[in-house]
Structure 1
Amino acid sequence: MDRSVYIAMTGATQTMRAQAEVAHNLANANTTGFKAELSAFQAMPVQGDGLQSRINGVAQGIGWDTTQGHQMETGNDLDVSVQGNGWIAVQTPDGVEGYTRAGNLRVDADGLLTDARGNAVMGGGGPITIPQASSLKIGSDGTISIVPLGQSPNTLTAVDRIKLVNPGNDQLTYGDDGLMHMRDGSTAEADANTRVVSGALEASNVNPSDVLVKMISLSREYEMQVRSIKSADENAQSASKLLQVG
């Protein structure tokens, strides 16, 4: 069979892989704190017998867009937006610590402070539990203060401090759970310099217009690869008929 079929097949497969990542970004254009994943086609040598000059274009992830999304004012005391670099530490149900920029926090029926996905928000000594209170405030350093039930508004009590980390983006990697994790599997140390703004959320940094343009471009590339496969098949059939005539 014509080797061009395999070249076109590889190109179509990798284009579909890149398209899936673009679609994932577009689906999260309205997800709080989402960072767009980045990918690019890279030249990879074909392993096996043959000349070392054989190269395939492979779609590979190259990280994510670190640009901060625009800040949305909500007025909700439990909403926080991380300023500059930094992340909110949360604990998944299986006990693994991850990091997120999604600051739309909640207090569940048991008083546990969680993110919108139900992951427990980490504090100085573990997951944060909020006692019953008439009001709650989150300071710029992540300190959570409440007015206990039955107390005057001037009676503020510090409950805990949200664990904010800033290990460096090069030390983090996207996890299948939608959270960032340390590349080496360790736990990031709290960073006293990371700040948040209460009553606001960080929007996704995905630009829908740019993503749609890229999606259309990849669709056209895929169609071109499929046409190449059909052309190679038609050429093979024509050659076969000529040999039969001979």
Structure 2
Amino acid sequence: MNRGIYPVVAGAITQERQLELLAHNLGNIHTTGFKKDDSVFGTILARSVGQPVAGFDLFPQVATVRPDTSQGTLKFTGHDMDVGLQGDGYLVVSTVDGLRHFRGGQLKINSKGELATQLDDPVLGENGPIKVPAGTMNIDRKGIVNVEGRQVGKLRIESLPPTTVAVKVGDRYWQVPNQVTEATNVEVFQASLEQANVNPSMELVNMIKVTRAYEQMQKAIQSMDEMTERMIRSANVQ
């Protein structure tokens, strides 16, 4: 068996994984607050019998996937129940699985009269769920919630320490780490939604590049396979 085929196969698998990530990003360009995923490449030393061969035993791989948490564009919707954030911060949501971070989106009033996400999870204020009585609701840039001019709560907004890597839970929520800080450089925009931070043109260009690289690796695999077959036939003739 030609050992040189293994790194090429690993490279093809890596390109296939990259293609999946790009497709996932493009599929969420209309998901409010979505943050695209970026792949981090690495290599892994194969466990092979005999002495390692330079270049043959180092397999490429997608070492990890990291979300790009850069700001998405805020789009004015005119709907009072829409909320978007500008800056490095997250709203805090109470779910059946525990607390989750949330970049904002289309909110509603749940059956308990609480401000909640479309998944019916309460959006927390500084003192717990925010009860919203009947009337016109207004949320200012600092996250203070008023109904008919009376303050009913203030949105709990948190930031992550600089060394903390944000971890996704689905496409809308984020895991709340053990250490968080109160956000000080975040503005709340009512009647606005944060768009996905995906650049469709760049993602399509990257998808074309990855597809071409994958095709080249397929051709290399086929050439190596044909070479091995010719060698076997030649050995049988002798």
Do the structures match in fold with TM over 0.5?
A: yes
Q: 1:200-240: CA deviations, max 9, x gaps? A: 11111100011011111111111222222222221111111
Q: 2:106 aligns with which of 104, 107, 114?
A: 104
Query: Partner amino acid for 1:103?
Result: G
Q: CA RMSD in A?
A: 2.2
Q: Structure 1 residues 230 and 181, CA, compared in 2 at 3 Å: closer, same or farther?
A: same
Structure 1 residues 43-62: aligned runs within 5 Å? 43-47=43-47, 50-51=51-52, 53=54, 54-61=57-64
Asked whether the equivalents of residues 28 and 34 of structure 2 are also in contact (C-alpha less than 8 Å), the reply is: yes
**C-alpha distance in 2 between matches for 1:45 and 1:129:** 56
Query: Partner amino acid for 1:145?
Result: N
TM-score (norm 2): 0.88
SS for the counterpart of 2:39 is strand
Q: What is the match of residue 224 of structure 1?
A: 216
Q: 1:52-89: CA deviations, max 9, x gaps? A: 85322212335332332222111222222212221111
Q: Structure 1 residues 47 and 122, CA, compared in 2 at 3 Å: closer, same or farther?
A: farther
**C-alpha distance in 2 between matches for 1:47 and 1:195:** 52
Q: What is the match of residue 163 of structure 1?
A: 156
Asked whether the equivalents of residues 6 and 59 of structure 2 are also in contact (C-alpha less than 8 Å), the reply is: no
Structure 1 residues 183-222: aligned runs within 5 Å? 185-186=177-178, 188-222=180-214
Q: 1:87 aligns with which of 86, 90, 103?
A: 90
How far 1:25 sits from its partner (Å)?
0.7
**C-alpha distance in 1 between matches for 2:184 and 2:232:** 73
Structure 1 residues 1-246: aligned runs within 5 Å? 1-47=1-47, 50-51=51-52, 53=54, 54-61=57-64, 63-94=66-97, 96-131=98-133, 133-147=134-148, 156-168=149-161, 170-178=163-171, 179-182=173-176, 185-186=177-178, 188-246=180-238
**C-alpha distance in 2 between matches for 1:36 and 1:123:** 28
| Structure 1 stretches of at least 4 aligned residues deviating more than 4 Å after TM superposition | none
- Using the TM superposition, name which of 4-13 and 111-120 deviates more: 111-120
- Using the TM superposition, name which of 157-166 and 62-71 deviates more: 62-71
Q: 1:104-162: CA deviations, max 9, x gaps? A: 2121233232223433211112233323x121111111111112xxxxxxxx2211111
Sequence identity percentage:
29
Q: Structure 1 residues 109 and 71, CA, compared in 2 at 3 Å: closer, same or farther?
A: same
- Count, aligned residues: 234
Q: Which runs of 5+ in 2 are unaligned?
A: none
Q: What is the match of residue 151 of structure 1?
A: none
Asked whether the equivalents of residues 92 and 119 of structure 1 are also in contact (C-alpha less than 8 Å), the reply is: yes
Q: 1:20-69: CA deviations, max 9, x gaps? A: 11111111111111111111322343356543853222123353323322
Q: What is the match of residue 150 of structure 1?
A: none
